[in-house]
Amino acid sequence: MPEYRIAPITVSPKFDATRFIATSHTGELPEETINELSALWDTLTNGIQVKRIDNGTGSWLLIWLEKHIEQQVERCWETSPHRGFLEHALAVDYVMAAAADLIPEIAAHGCAPIPEPSPAVREAAEELGLSWPERHTLNRRYALLTPLPWKGGCSACHLNANCPKHKTPSD
């Protein structure tokens, strides 16, 4: 049985409209929409989980939004695809902003490398109610696992070969 420690981390990322627009590729948004998204951002604080997992070989940052956030976004998609997309993009931006607050290189590189989950990380995640039903994909839509501190970027990422950031329209 792998040994590990789980420690909670508190984060409070700030909403940044410019970052959100760049991340979501929405282009300019009306001020009213920005204000609504900013207010919704504040509600995500009640649904984020941030943990540090340590074992003898390394440390990892594990962040996810709870299931009720996913369900809220899904309900929104059903009633308004445009609004659902905005809430989906906001949830993604929130997780990435939280990670970047803790690991500044994530903001600088625009992504967080995903490691091969070790047995200790898998076991810790299962203890927290998470799993990997697919290779390298947590069972939460808005989730992130990355080395802590920053390590390797694309060269250390197990999704590198199939990364959407490396795809071009001609692929």
Element (H, E) at 7: strand 5-8
Looking at domain 5-166, does it have CATH number 3.50.50.60? no
Q: Which of 40, 106, 31 is nearest to 69 (CA)?
A: 40
pLDDT at 155: 64
b (16+ CB within 10 A) / e for 1-31: eeebeeeeeeeebebebebbbebbeeeebee
Structure tokens at 124: 């810790």
- 8 Å CB contact between 120 and 130: no
pLDDT (tens digit, 9 = 90+) per residue, 121-137?
888 888 999 887 766 67
Q: Does 171 score more than 50 pLDDT? A: no
Residues 49-69, mean pLDDT to the nearest whole number: 91
pTM of the model: 0.86
Domains of the chain, residue spans: 5-166
**Do the beta carbons of residue 145 and residue 96 sit within 8 Å?**
no
Encode pLDDT of 80-108 as tens digits.
999 999 999 999 999 999 999 998 888 88
Least confident of 16-20, 34-38, 116-120, 145-149: 116-120
112 pLDDT higher than 50: yes
